[in-house]
Amino acid sequence: MKRAILVAILLLGTVLAAKADNDTYVDTTRHGRGNDALDVDASTCDQMLGSPKNGQPTSPQYKRCMLKLGWRWKFTTVSPRANPSSNATDDDDWSFTGCTFNPASSSDC
């Protein structure tokens, strides 16, 4: 029981401290490509260089890779944490060994 509470507190602290970096790219090809093309090209650069890490600036090498594929880096937005979804069917619950952490519940897992 004590171990489960300690793990839940550690996970909650990690979730509260989480930040999300969102890079914005502009299509330089003027063909009106959308997010699907951006995702494919970002995956190509991810495979070659590794994906950009949250909390660290996007590397010049990654930006050059995206530019070669027709995407110019514009800016990075840092979100303090992801907004919780109002949709109960989303998979937003944190679970550990089959138990979903709910501070309002007094049940043991």
Query: 31 φ, ψ to 5°?
Result: -105, 5
pLDDT range class, residue 38, cuts 50, 70, 90: very high
Inform me whether the pLDDT recorded for 65 exceeds 80. yes
Inform me whether the pLDDT recorded for 93 exceeds 50. no
Given the structure tokens 């944490």, which residue do they identify?
Answer: 81
Inform me whether the pLDDT recorded for 45 exceeds 90. yes
Mean pLDDT calculated for residue range 33-55: 93
CB 81 within 8 A of CB 91: no
Outline where the chain has alpha helix (H). 2-17, 35-49, 60-68
Mean pLDDT calculated for residue range 2-27: 64
